[in-house]
Amino acid sequence: MGRAVRAEAVLAGDFEVAACYDVEGPCLRPGDRLPEGVDVVVDFSTPSALDFLGGMLSGTEAALVSGTTGLSAREKAMLESWSAERAVFYSPNMSRGIYVLARLVSEAGRLLGPGFDLEVVEIHHRQKRDSPSGTALRLVESWSASRSVQPEPVYGREGAMGPRRTQEVGIHSVRGGDVAGDHEVHLLGDGERLLLAHRASGRRTFALGALAAARFVSGRGPGLYGMDDLPGWSGDQR
């Protein structure tokens, strides 16, 4: 993702790439300081890199855009603590289409009522490290927000599990090839079913979303921001 963001930033014309950060290669390394005058850091790495990232941000006023997935509760709390002194934008998926899909899932849950079951299938390339995807979990959260009974995630199924429980939500992860990201939301009722899907043809869409987030947080005050805050994305033309 870092290469995709850098390529789109160069093409955009309103960004200057000051440095890159990686554990290997001709980039900033763990423990290195940010160059002077950096406005925004865009991070698509791994949860284990957050401690290094925190050290890099320390003593600077740089805003942060993070699309890293697989964060634990502790790691999400780290982002929230950083937002007390800088603008922090976090989303496990920077796609406008996924943002709309999450809102559709929430609205579907409200309109369909308790008689429908939710199953989520996500497909990613063979190199993806975390399962299920952060986006799949986000879609379940959207469904949960519209339900009176808190769903209980089930990660795949095997053996004699018995009938499906009312509050059960199935999440299924498929890995292989070079798939940038496919997500299917199956809404299953008696006598009918709905399928909502999003397929990313490449990483460019995520890079463009990250740059939109970078423009948003540049020069903005401290706070924790997300996709709902991007002008025009929620229907609010701020």
Domains of the chain as residue ranges with CATH: 2-90+203-229 (3.40.50.720), 96-200 (3.30.360.10)
122 Cβ neighbours under 8 A, 6+ residues apart? 132, 133, 135, 136, 171, 172, 173, 174, 181, 182, 183, 184
pLDDT at 34: 85
Structure tokens at 136: 């799949």
For residues 235 and 115, the model is more confident at 115
State the average pLDDT over residues 178-185: 96
Q: Measured between alpha carbons, how far is 89 from 66 in angstroms, rounded to an integer?
A: 6
Catalogue the active-site residues.
124, 128
Helix (H) or strand (E) holding 43: strand 40-43
Question: For residue 233, what pLDDT band results from cuts at 50, 70 and 90?
Answer: low
**pLDDT of residue 216 exceeding 60:** yes
Question: For residue 235, what pLDDT band results from cuts at 50, 70 and 90?
Answer: low
Instruction: State the burial class of residue 152 (Cβ atoms within 10 Å of its Cβ: 0-12, 13-18, 19+).
Output: exposed
